[in-house]
Amino acid sequence: MAKEKINLNISGMTCVNCSNGIQKVVNKLDGLESSKVSFASNSGEFVIDSDKIDKDKLIKKIKTLGYGVEEDIKALEIAKKKAYYKLRRLFITALVLSISIFYFLFFPVANINLYIMFALGSIVQFYPGGRFYSLAFKAISHKNFDMNVLVALGTSAAYFYSAFVVLFPALFPAHLRFIYFDGASVIITFILLGRLLEERSKAKATDFLKNLMNLAPLNAQRIEKDGTITQIPAIELNIEDIVLVKQGEKVSADGIVIEGGAEIDTSMITGEPLPAYKTINDEVVAGTINTAGLIKVKVTKLANDTTLSKIIALLNEAQSKSMPIARFADKVANVFVPIVILISILTFFVWYFFVGDALSAILASISVLIISCPCALGLATPIAIVSAVGKGAKEGILIKNPEVLEIIKDIKYAVFDKTGTITKGEISVKDVMLDEQYLEVLGSTESYSEHPISKAITNYIKEKGYACTQKIEDMQVLPGFGVSAKSGDEQILIGNITLLENNKVDIPKEYMEFFEKTINAGNGAVFASVGKDCIGVIALEDSLKDGAVKLIQSLKAKNIVPILLTGDNEVTAKKIASEVGIELVYAGVLPDEKYKVIKDLQKDAKVLFVGDGINDSVSIKQADIGIALNSGSDITKDAGDIILMNNEIISVLKSINLSQRAMNTIKQNLFWAFFYNSIGIPIAAGVLYPVFGIMLTPVYAGIAMSFSSVSVVLNSLRLKFAKLQG
C-alpha cells in the first residue's frame, strides 16, 4: 500500500454541515484512509492509498457534490470573494423586495395588489430564497436536517399557501383567504443577514496568512567566492552561502553572523521593542530588519525551513482547527424538522380519516408548518449577534468572528503577551542618578538619534524644561553599545557598561550599585560620561498599561487563570507579572514555543490569548479566542477574533462580559422560540378543538409566528443598551 497525503482548497462550503457532508461521502471511497475537511479554512486534508485511488478521482467526487476544488490559495480567495458578493447581492435583493411587499401590504393598489405581492414574494422565494432550497437538498442528501431545511420548509408552506389563495381563491372559504408573502420574505431576508455576517468574517480568515508571507525576504545579496556580490531570489539560497545584509534591509535567511555587527529589529519574533545587537557567532532570523550596521551572514537553513516559514506553517495549521460545531439551533433542527413534518402529516390524516373534513385537514397541516416556521428560531442568533457587534463597536471592541460568542463561557485560561499588551511597549525613563548640570548636553546628544532609548532620554530631559539645542559634533551611533559625540572638546558617551570600559572611563561605586539594583529589578539602564568622568546612570522601564491590574483581578474573580507568556527574559517577566498579580509565567519563549504552550493548555480547557506583535499571531490564531490590539501588526489583527480598537487592555474584560451577555440572550431567544413551538404546534394541530372548539387557522398561526419573532428581536436589542463592566 502506497500512502499519499493530499491537501485541497475547497470552495462553495457554506456551513459546518458542508464539511461534514464531504467527509461522509469521500470516506466511502475505496482507498481513502482518512479525511479532515475544515469549513473554517476551506481546506481538506486526505490520506489515500494511491494504488486504489488517485487525486483526480478524489477531486471529481468532491465536485459532483457541488463544491469547487481550487488550484491554489489565490484561486480560493477569488472564489470566496465571488461567493461573498453573491450572498450580499441576494441579501440586498431580499431586503428591497421585502420592504416593497410591506408597502403594498399597508398601501394596497386596487384589484392588482395581491398579484403585485405575489410577484414580489415569488422573486424573493426563488431567487434569494433559492439558496436555501439548494442547501437543504445538500443537507438532506447527507442525512442532515439543519436550519436550511427548516427555512426551506417553513417559507415554502407560507408561500405556497399564499400563492394558492391568490391564484385559486375559490378553493378557500372567504374567511381563510390569507397571504403570508411578507412573513416568508422577512424570514429569508433576516436569515441571509445572519449568513452574510458569518461569511464576512470567514472571507477574511486567510488575510493574516497572506500578509505574513509578504514579510519573507524576496531577494538576497550573495557574496560569491571571488568576492563579487550577486542579487538572487532568497529562495535560491543554499546552506553555507554567505549573504550581505545592509542597513535597512531584511535578513535574507536564518543564519550566523560571521563578520560585522548590526542592530536587528527582532520584534516580529520576540515582540520586544528594542533592537538586538548581533555580532560574530550570533544567530539571525529571516525577515528581521537591520536597523543599523553591516553584517555578513552564513546561511544555516533553507527558505522552507526558516523560523518565519515555520510560523507560517503553524498559522496554517491553527487556521484549520475546527470551529465550534453547528449552532445550537442547527443541532436541534436535526430532530425538530422531522418531528414537525411527522406532526403535519399525522394532523392531516387524523382530520381527514377520523373527522372526515378534507379542508380542515389541509388547513391544520399547513398551520402546523406555518406556526413552526423558523422565523424566531432563525432570528435568535443573527439578531443577537448584530446587537452584540454594534454594542462592541461603540465600546471600541471589533468582533470579527461571532463564533467566539459560543465558547467564551468555557474560557479557563487568559494568556497575555507582555510588551505592548500588559505593558505600553514604550521605553521611558524610570529614574536617574546623575548631575543635572549635564542634562542639556545629554538631551542634545540623544536628540540626534532615532533609537528608542535615545528618544526616551530626550523626552525625559525635555519634560524637565531643557531645550536640548546645544551644538553637538561628530555624532556616532555605535550599534550594540550606544552613542558617541563631542561637545566642544569633551567626548560624550551614552550607552552600556562595555562602551565606557572600552573608552577607559571609571565608574564610581554608587553608580554601579544603582545600576545593579536597576538590573536586578528587571529594568534596563545606561551610563553617561563626559570626558573621562562617568556622570550618572539612567534607569529605563516599560510601564504597565492603565487598567492592567484591574483586569487581572477581575479575571481571577471569574475563576479565569491569567498567564504571562513572553519572549522577554525571566527577571523582567516576573517583575511585570508580580506588579499585575499574575502567578503563572512563561518567559524567554519564541513564537513556536508560545504556540506549543497554548496547545498544551488547550488539552485541559479553553484558552483566550491577547497579544499585539507578529510573533503573537500564531498563538492568537491557535487559541480558542484570539484578541489583538489595534496598535499591533496587521497580521496579528487579521488573525484575531476580536480587535480592541481603543487599545485599552480593560476592554478584554468588556469583551468577555459582552460575549457572555450575548450568549445568554441567544439562549433566551432559543428558549422562547422552542417554547412557543411546543405550545403553538399542538394548538395548530387541533388538540383544543374537541374540548373548546378552537381551531387555529393559518392567519392566527402567522400572527403567533410574527409575535414570537418580535419578542426575539426586542430581547436582542436590549444588548445595545447593556452596561459593560470594565
> What pLDDT is recorded for position 703?
60
> What pLDDT is recorded for position 375?
55
> What pLDDT is recorded for position 124?
94
The contacts of residue 476 (CB under 8 Å, 6+ apart) are 483, 484, 485
> What pLDDT is recorded for position 138?
77
> What pLDDT is recorded for position 681?
82
> What pLDDT is recorded for position 556?
92
> Structure pTM?
0.56
Q: pLDDT band for position 318 (50/70/90)?
A: very low
> What pLDDT is recorded for position 72?
67
Contact 415, 596 (CB under 8 A): no
For the chain, the domains span: 3-70, 72-203, 217-304, 330-396+654-726, 424-543
What would you measure as the largest C-alpha separation in the chain, in angstroms? 116
Joined together, the cell numbers standing for residue 360 give 380542515
Taking residues 606-633, report their average pLDDT.
82
Q: Give the residue, 632 or 412, on which the prediction is more confident.
A: 412
Query: Would you give the DSSP letter of residue 528?
Result: E
Lowest average pLDDT, out of 12-26, 223-237, 321-335, 405-419, goes to 321-335
How many C-beta atoms lie closer than 10 Å to residue 78's C-beta? Answer: 12
Across the chain, mean pLDDT equals 80
Q: Give the residue, 203 or 189, on which the prediction is more confident.
A: 189
Chain position carrying cell 517583575: 575
Q: Give the residue, 689 or 601, on which the prediction is more confident.
A: 601
Domain 3-70 has CATH 3.30.70.100: yes
Q: Give the residue, 245 or 337, on which the prediction is more confident.
A: 245
> What pLDDT is recorded for position 205?
43
Taking residues 83-109, report their average pLDDT.
90
Q: Please tell me the CATH superfamily of domain 424-543, with its number.
A: Calcium-transporting ATPase, cytoplasmic domain N (3.40.1110.10)
**Bridge partners, residue 482, by sequence:** 478, 495
Smallest CA-to-CA distance from 624 within 644, 637, 640 is with 640
Check pLDDT > 70 for residue 239. yes
Contact 534, 528 (CB under 8 A): yes
Check pLDDT > 80 for residue 267. no
The set of long-range contacts for 385-390, using a CB threshold of 8 Å and a minimum separation of 24, is 385/194, 385/197, 385/662, 385/666, 386/193, 386/197, 386/716, 387/662, 387/665, 387/716, 387/717, 387/718, 387/719, 387/720, 388/658, 388/659, 388/661, 388/662, 388/665, 388/719, 389/197, 390/719, 390/720
Instruction: Provide the annotated active-site residues.
Output: 417
Q: What is the pLDDT of residues 8-44, one digit of tens each?
A: 888 887 765 677 778 878 888 888 888 878 765 677 8
Instruction: State percent of the chain over pLDDT 70.
Output: 84
Q: Give the residue, 15 or 514, on which the prediction is more confident.
A: 514
Q: What is the pLDDT of residues 389-434, one digit of tens each?
A: 777 777 777 777 777 777 877 889 999 988 778 887 778 888 899 8
Q: Give the residue, 515 or 52, on which the prediction is more confident.
A: 515
CA 448 distance to own-chain centroid = 41
> What pLDDT is recorded for position 188?
83
Q: pLDDT band for position 529 (50/70/90)?
A: very high
Contact 528, 582 (CB under 8 A): no
Check pLDDT > 80 for residue 645. no
Check pLDDT > 80 for residue 128. yes
Check pLDDT > 80 for residue 107. yes
Check pLDDT > 80 for residue 370. no
> What pLDDT is recorded for position 324?
47
> What pLDDT is recorded for position 573?
82
Q: Give the residue, 522 or 625, on which the prediction is more confident.
A: 625
> What pLDDT is recorded for position 379?
62
Q: Where are the alpha helices (DSSP H) in 411-486?
A: 439-446, 452-463
Instruction: State percent of the chain over pLDDT 90.
Output: 13
Domain 217-304 has CATH 2.60.40.10: no
Q: pLDDT band for position 331 (50/70/90)?
A: low
Top mean pLDDT of 43-47, 194-198, 483-487 is at 483-487
Check pLDDT > 80 for residue 587. yes
Q: What is the pLDDT of residues 47-93, one digit of tens each?
A: 888 888 888 888 888 888 778 887 666 677 777 788 888 989 999 99
Taking residues 602-616, report their average pLDDT.
84
